[in-house]
């Protein structure tokens, strides 16, 4: 990566393919490579089929499965769809009740929501405040008509690890199928489907240094009758996933699994140490919360909420870091922080959270750079926050009067306070404090330059629509500038 590229600490979103993975993929692309269709009866097909067989064994080995138990899919989203929809279809004569958890990935929750519309009933369990699901909670939710339970191994936002072996055993004892989304666990912690006792397990290549667009669903040998296909068109993959196998993707996935399996004994403790270094660096800031701290967590995922800073501004202040955020701004989800809120964090704290996810190429020096950048950003934003009663600088001296006016509130997400240094009927200087989004901060800052030197009769300088135009604030954010206007007007009202 070039020095100007952002520091990548978002390995839970995706990982770069390892160079060995890329090499394996290239070996299956192009006229001189094993480009064949593995279903073909001729030698070109057989060469491709050999690559698939090797990869299938590598993928299976990562989770302690047999190669015949691996069904290749396009990724964990598809694996989850197939497992949940397919298991519910297979059990249609026995019941329609599903149990899952509120903190699951959308690739589980949205499938359950869809099935609810087709007549299933779904229980969404709320884990403890730590993010951990107590096995007794699951036991209490199981009913005679429960046909499927889906609980993830490790949470993608907090890294919290559920006790899958215990949860799955509860289900097995009652004849209920058990699925787990292991997308974040695979490659970060040892997984063995025999110890876990699950029927179905989803995982995906691009979270473990493989390519995007390929994943797997583990289907236990004895559980094939517990799942039906959801798409049709060929006998491939035990009749569960038709279509020509993407040999290059599968070959890359295989090598990726092999590498993480071999590296795990040293990589897991290394990532744990780096995560501890990160938290040790951030904790002294004060007003910081390690989300999921009281629960077992997977190494390398650290989710921190920062008091007294607005989420979008925190992200905007960290252009050199590629991390995930609870703030709504750069997330496609309508409800990006539902995981943290279900752990009892209020909306503000959920939004002012950052997920640092470390991986194979993360170094201690990078962690230190991140700590320094985040500390500077948090301190800078807190300087302006409502927690500080005094203006950022002590320049309001002499015999002149200072008038102040504020509007909005921190719980609502926008708060602004102007400080005007006035002399006679003129504004000599203007400053502001705010807990607000980057647009609001920018507009308030710019407005201070427009306030300076103005006569009282010339105030306020224009209206929010003019300011939005001048500062390029998108129309949908215009409402926030009303708080800025209210704060200016409040200051003028206090000018007696």
Binding string to ligand PLP for residues 137 to 166, with x set by CB under 6 A, is what?
---------------x---x----------
What does the alpha-carbon distance between residue 427 and residue 334 come to, in Å, rounded to a whole number?
42
Q: Is residue 103 within the footprint of ligand PLP (CB under 6 A)? A: no
Q: Is residue 76 within the footprint of ligand PLP (CB under 6 A)? A: yes
What does the alpha-carbon distance between residue 359 and residue 357 come to, in Å, rounded to a whole number?
7
Q: Is residue 75 within the footprint of ligand PLP (CB under 6 A)? A: yes
Which position among 158, 184, 275, 362 is part of the footprint of ligand PLP (CB under 6 A)? 184
Q: Which two tokens stand for residue 88?
A: 């519910």
Binding string to ligand PLP for residues 422 to 441, with x set by CB under 6 A, is what?
--------------------
Which span (23-31, 33-41, 181-189, 292-300) binds ligand PLP, by CB under 6 A?
181-189
Q: Is residue 310 within the footprint of ligand PLP (CB under 6 A)? A: no
Q: Is residue 207 within the footprint of ligand PLP (CB under 6 A)? A: yes
Per-residue burial over 425-434, b if 16 or more Cβ lie within 10 Å, else e, is eebbbbbbbb
Which position among 103, 204, 324, 385 is part of the footprint of ligand PLP (CB under 6 A)? 204
Instruction: In angstroms, give the least distance from the CB of 185 to ligand PLP.
Output: 9
Q: List the catalytic residue out of 112, 329, 437, 448.
A: 329
The pair phi, psi for residue 288, each rounded to 5°, is -120, 145
In the bound state with ligand PLP, the residue whose beta carbon lies nearer, of 72 and 432, is 72
Peptide bond into 460 cis (omega under 30): yes
Q: Let me know: does 90 contact 284? Beta carbons within 8 Å.
A: no
Q: Let me know: does 34 contact 27? Beta carbons within 8 Å.
A: yes
Rounded alpha-carbon distances, angstroms, from residue 157 to 147, 202, 298? 28, 17, 11
Which span (62-70, 73-81, 217-225, 400-408) binds ligand PLP, by CB under 6 A?
73-81
Q: Map residue 424 onto helix, strand or coil.
A: coil
Which span (180-188, 243-251, 372-380, 410-418) binds ligand PLP, by CB under 6 A?
180-188
Q: If we measure between CA atoms, which residue out of 144, 171, 155 comes closest to residue 109?
A: 155
Is residue 171 flagged as an active site residue? no
Instruction: In angstroms, give the least distance from the CB of 19 to ligand PLP.
Output: 21
Instruction: In angstroms, give the least distance from the CB of 10 to ligand PLP.
Output: 11
Which span (72-80, 328-336, 415-423, 455-463) binds ligand PLP, by CB under 6 A?
72-80
# residues near ligand PLP by CB under 6 A: 14
In the bound state with ligand PLP, the residue whose beta carbon lies nearer, of 77 and 443, is 77
What does the alpha-carbon distance between residue 68 and residue 314 come to, in Å, rounded to a whole number?
48
Which position among 15, 77, 146, 275 is part of the footprint of ligand PLP (CB under 6 A)? 77
Q: Which two tokens stand for residue 287?
A: 């007003």
Q: If we measure between CA atoms, which residue out of 318, 340, 378 comes closest to residue 158?
A: 340
In the bound state with ligand PLP, the residue whose beta carbon lies nearer, of 107 and 189, is 107
Instruction: In angstroms, give the least distance from the CB of 469 to ligand PLP.
Output: 39
Q: Map residue 34 onto helix, strand or coil.
A: coil
Q: Is residue 264 within the footprint of ligand PLP (CB under 6 A)? A: no
Instruction: In angstroms, give the least distance from the CB of 105 to ligand PLP.
Output: 4
Q: Let me know: does 281 contact 375? Beta carbons within 8 Å.
A: yes
Q: Let me know: does 479 contact 486? Beta carbons within 8 Å.
A: no
What does the alpha-carbon distance between residue 270 and residue 136 come to, in Å, rounded to a whole number?
33
**Angle, alpha carbons 127-195-245 (nearest 5°):** 95
Instruction: In angstroms, give the least distance from the CB of 215 to ligand PLP.
Output: 5
Please name the residue that has the structure tokens 């890294």.
Answer: 159
Residue with nearest beta carbon to ligand PLP? 75
Q: Let me know: does 22 contact 252? Beta carbons within 8 Å.
A: yes
**Angle, alpha carbons 441-442-445 (nearest 5°):** 85
Q: Is residue 289 within the footprint of ligand PLP (CB under 6 A)? A: no
Q: Is residue 15 within the footprint of ligand PLP (CB under 6 A)? A: no
Which position among 210, 215, 229, 246 is part of the footprint of ligand PLP (CB under 6 A)? 215
Q: Is residue 188 within the footprint of ligand PLP (CB under 6 A)? A: no
> What is the spatial order of strands in the sheet that 70-73 belongs to?
70-73, 215-219, 200-204, 177-181, 146-150, 97-101, 121-125
Q: Let me know: does 311 contact 330? Beta carbons within 8 Å.
A: no
Which positions lie near ligand PLP, rule CB under 6 A? 75-77, 105, 107, 152, 156, 181, 183-184, 204, 206-207, 215
Catalytic residues: 329
């Amino acid at each position: 990566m070039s020095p100007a590229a952002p520091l990548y600490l978002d390995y839970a979103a995706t990982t770069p393919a390892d160079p060995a993975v890329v090499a394996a993929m290239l070996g299956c692309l192009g006229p001189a490579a094993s480009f064949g269709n593995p279903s073909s009866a001729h030698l070109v097909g057989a060469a491709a089929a050999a690559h698939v067989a090797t990869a299938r064994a590598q993928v299976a080995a990562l989770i302690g499965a047999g190669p015949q138990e691996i069904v290749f899919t396009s990724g964990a989203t598809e694996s989850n769809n197939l497992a949940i929809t397919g298991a519910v279809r297979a059990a249609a004569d026995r019941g329609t009740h599903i149990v899952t958890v509120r903190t699951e990935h959308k690739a589980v929750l949205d499938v359950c929501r869809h099935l609810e519309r087709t007549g299933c009933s779904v229980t969404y369990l709320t884990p403890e405040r730590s993010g951990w699901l107590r096995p007794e909670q699951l036991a209490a939710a199981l009913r005679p008509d429960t046909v499927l339970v889906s609980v993830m191994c490790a949470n993608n936002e907090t890294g919290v690890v559920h006790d899958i072996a215990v949860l799955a055993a509860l289900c097995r004892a009652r004849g209920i199928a058990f699925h787990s989304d292991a997308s974040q666990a695979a490659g970060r912690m040892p997984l063995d489907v025999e110890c876990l006792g699950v029927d179905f397990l989803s995982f995906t290549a691009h979270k473990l240094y493989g390519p995007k667009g390929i994943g797997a669903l583990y289907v236990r040998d004895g559980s094939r009758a517990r799942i039906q296909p959801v798409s049709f068109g060929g006998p491939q993959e035990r009749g569960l996933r038709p279509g020509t196998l993407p040999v290059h993707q599968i070959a890359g996935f295989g090598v990726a699994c092999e590498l993480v399996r071999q590296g795990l004994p040293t990589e897991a403790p290394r990532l744990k140490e780096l995560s501890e270094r990160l938290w040790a660096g951030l904790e002294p800031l004060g007003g910081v919360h390690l989300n999921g701290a009281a629960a077992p967590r997977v190494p390398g995922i650290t989710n921190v909420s920062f008091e007294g800073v607005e989420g979008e501004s925190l992200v905007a202040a960290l252009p050199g870091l590629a991390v995930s955020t609870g703030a709504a701004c750069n997330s496609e989800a309508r409800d990006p922080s539902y995981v943290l809120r279900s752990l009892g964090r209020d909306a503000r704290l959920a939004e002012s959270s950052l997920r640092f996810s470390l991986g194979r190429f993360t170094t201690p020096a990078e962690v230190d750079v991140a700590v320094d950048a985040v500390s500077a950003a948090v301190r800078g934003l807190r300087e302006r926050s409502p927690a500080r009663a005094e203006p950022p600088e002590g320049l309001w001296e002499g015999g002149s009067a200072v008038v102040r006016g504020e509007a909005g509130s921190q719980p609502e997400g926008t708060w602004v306070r102007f400080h005007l240094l006035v002399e006679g009927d003129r504004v000599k200087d203007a400053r502001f404090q705010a807990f607000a989004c980057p647009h609001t901060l920018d507009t308030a800052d710019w407005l201070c330059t427009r306030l300076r030197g103005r006569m009282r009769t010339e105030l306020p300088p224009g209206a929010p629509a003019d300011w939005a135009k001048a500062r390029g604030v998108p129309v949908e954010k215009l409402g926030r500038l009303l708080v800025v206007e209210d704060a200016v007007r409040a200051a003028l009202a206090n000018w007696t």
